[in-house]
Amino acid sequence: MPIDPNHPLVHFAPELGVAIRTPVVTLASPTMDELARLAERAGEGIHAPDAMPFSTAWTRGSADEVASRVVRHWLRTVGANEATPIATLPFVVFHPTEGPIGVQDLVLARGWPSLATVSTGSWLTAAAQGRGIGTWMRRAVLTLAFRHLGAARAETTAHADNLASRRVSEKVGYREVGTSIALVEGRERLLVHYRLERGDVEDDPSIIVTGLGPEVLKRLMAIPAT
Ligand SMILES: CC(C)(COP(=O)(O)OP(=O)(O)OC[C@H]1O[C@@H](n2cnc3c(N)ncnc32)[C@H](O)[C@@H]1OP(=O)(O)O)[C@@H](O)C(=O)NCCC(=O)NCCS
């Protein structure tokens, strides 16, 4: 059960009440207990020890270090200054019986909303991977972006050897648009870039967005000062 939409915290920070329901998982804000549970699970391992699917190697280190980064990423992202537009909506992914199992961020590009581009970042606990959930959580935030925020396109990047992430992008309808090389943990890694135009994907009525009141929309659509 994510945070209760009637909780006083949601009254004071309405963006915490945004939720996206799909037929298999719900994306929403966690309670503090759920955030701690998710962090513990992340500490148990998200990928094989010799792999590194992320551009910042935040999954290296002890279980407690990884868990701490999960908590701090969440708190930092939801804790944006109330006077500034929201730049990233961080969602925790909830399974109906397993509880919090991962994170799906929706990132509004620099230049948003004039440049109506969004990007995404995500991970699931090892036990939750390979069951179709990554595809649903990506579709969930794209529905929010295309149906409710007026996004024109979505972009994403995966390491060339991250076949699960690449396959999710391809299943959802993204097109490969190029590659680049980045330094990750001191090693050159090939990145593959994908783009999805709004018209490339059909709206999925089985995905329901709630809690998107006028105050949240105003902060999501505000034009930054610089
Ligand atoms: C990437 C991630 C979020 C995808 O979520 P997921 O729930 O595992 O993805 P799904 O089950 O919806 O889809 C994965 C697809 O990749 C395919 N796939 C997975 N591993 C594969 C492999 N080694 N070779 C070929 N295809 C593979 C699956 O078969 C599936 O495709 P299909 O439905 O056509 O069979 C998840 O795997 C994850 O958290 N990985 C570790 C962290 C990570 O890589 N984050 C993204 C960084 S860019």
Q: Is the pLDDT of residue 225 over 70?
A: no
Q: pLDDT of 127-162, one tens digit each?
A: 999 999 999 999 999 999 999 999 999 999 999 999
- What's the rounded Cα separation, in Å, for the pair 181 and 190? 5
Whole-model pTM? 0.96
Pairing of strands 153-159, 117-124: parallel
What burial class does residue 58 get, using C-beta atoms within 10 Å of its C-beta: 0-12 exposed, 13-18 middle, 19+ buried? middle
Owning domain of residue 151: 8-206
Answer yes or no: is 109 within a domain: yes
The CATH number covering residue 169 comes to 3.40.630.30
Please give the tally of structural domains in the chain. Answer: 1
The SS3 of residue 217 is helix
Q: Is the pLDDT of residue 226 over 70?
A: no
| Residue 159 CA, closest ligand 1 atom number | 48
Fill in the DSSP letter of residue 147.
I
Answer yes or no: is 150 within a domain: yes
Q: pLDDT of 34-78, one tens digit each?
A: 999 999 999 999 999 999 999 999 999 999 999 999 999 999 998
Ligand 1 pocket mutation, candidates 58, 123, 136, 193, criterion most atoms within 8 A of CB: 123
User: CB under 6 Å to ligand 1: residues?
Assistant: 46-47, 53-54, 122-124, 129-135, 158, 162-165, 167-168, 171
Answer yes or no: is 215 within a domain: no
Answer yes or no: is 113 within a domain: yes
Answer yes or no: is 223 within a domain: no
Answer yes or no: is 92 within a domain: yes
Answer yes or no: is 129 within a domain: yes
Residue 174 identity (one-letter amino acid):
Y
Report residue 217 as tokens. Answer: 């929309």
Answer yes or no: is 216 within a domain: no
